[in-house]
Amino acid sequence: MANLTKEELFQAKIDAEIKIEPKDWMPEAYRKTLIRQISQHAHSEIIGMLPEGNWISRAPSLRRKVALLAKVQDEAGHGLYLYSAAETLGVDRADLMNDLVTGKAKYSSIFNYPTLTWADMGAIGWLVDGAAIMNQVPLCRCSYGPYARAMVRVCKEESFHQRQGYEIMMTLSNGTPEQKAMAQDALNRWWWPSIMMFGPSDADSSHSAQSMAWKIKRFSNDELRQRFVDATVSQAEYLGLTLPDKDLKWNEERGSYDFGAIDWDEFWNVVKGNGPCNRQRIKARQKAEENGKWVKEAAMAYAEKRRKRQQKIKTQEAAKAA
């Protein structure tokens, strides 16, 4: 061990499944990769509140409203844990937020699609949170301690979200023909964007190989996408709904479903800011920042006042003791 370089020692720790903590030495590229991924993840949670928040006031019953409200509030909480995890790497939350509202930062493509009917609340919970669970459970074993620990609670809450979405789909699928048609229409619109959430195919994923060597990611984008498709087919069958993919077929040899070609042009178009709702989402965040400015200023002023008072007490105590 004595003649190993810092980089080799770092990799040895990762290989031995020892968590990396904020004050440990880490390669600059590891730190940057984590800041990139965690901040994009945090932004996704915050932007992710918007499509569903759109339906809180139009939920069909008090029970549905309470569940949806709780879900959307959970997403805000996820954003906060994740911004805190990013801050342990030496970045400032205000700078991250600035990158989001100026359109510089990325966030998940999925939240740039519109929520047109109540059934979309079912499809999002079932598919989007279902995909999130598939992607995020392995992140509970991420090599960076603060991110891994934040993900444990996030994943528990995502499970509740997935169940509430699936239950909405069950109710609609077992309802009137109009309700069932609404559920099918939501599935038709959310299926492809949901499987795009896992990111570009492995051949085009620029960060996967290094992130997997560092055990930030445990599985590749395509591996997780395949697991999600395999898990979701029988759930759709149980609902009596059809996944909108004529090429979806069980492959005996692979023990997995084959599925149709993903429209990567659509994916990159959305990632680059040209999806149906990108501009609307950023505008909503800009407005929230602007309207919330006074709250932040008041909180900062209070914190400063408290700090000064505590300093005064300390000085007085030191003077008394002397």
Residue 226 binds ligand BYC (CB under 6 A): no
- Give the tokens for residue 210: 């290094």
| CB-nearer residue toward ligand BYC: 121 or 236 | 121
Q: How many residues touch ligand BYC (CB under 6 A)?
A: 28
- The beta strands (E) that lie in the chain are given as 249-251, 256-258
Specify the residue, 115 or 136, whose C-beta has the smaller distance to ligand BYC. Answer: 136
Task: Out of 26, 132, 186, 277, name the contact with ligand BYC by CB under 6 A.
Answer: 132
User: How far apart are CB 253 and ligand BYC at their closest, in Å?
Assistant: 27
Closer CB to ligand BYC, residue 129 or residue 245? 129
- Binds ligand BYC by CB under 6 A, chosen from 39, 115, 135, 232: 135
**DSSP readout, 61-80?**
SHHHHHHHHHHHHHHHHHHH
By CB under 6 A, residue 271 contacts ligand BYC: yes
Query: DSSP 3-state assignment of 315?
Result: helix
Residue 207 interacting with ligand BYC (CB under 6 A): yes
User: Distance between alpha carbon 129 and the CA centroid of its chain, in Å?
Assistant: 9
146 binds ligand BYC (CB under 6 A): no
Hey, what are 16's tokens? 């031995």
As measured in angstroms, the least distance from the Cβ of 103 to ligand BYC is 13
Least Å from the CB of residue 135 to ligand BYC: 5
CB 25 within 8 A of CB 6: yes
Cβ of residue 128: shortest distance to ligand BYC, in angstroms? 5
Among 14, 39, 40, 225, binds ligand BYC (CB under 6 A): 40
Contacts of 77 (CB under 8 A, 6+ apart): 157
Alpha-carbon dihedral angle through residues 239, 243, 246, 247, given to the nearest 10 degrees: -110
Tokens of 34: 């984590």
Residue 208: CB minimum distance to ligand BYC, A: 5
Residue 195 in contact with residue 228, Cβ under 8 Å? yes
Residue 257: strand pairing partners: 250
Structure tokens at 286: 């800009």
Binding site for ligand BYC (CB under 6 A): 36-37, 40-41, 44-45, 48, 75, 106, 108-109, 128-129, 132, 135-136, 197-200, 205-208, 211, 217, 221, 271
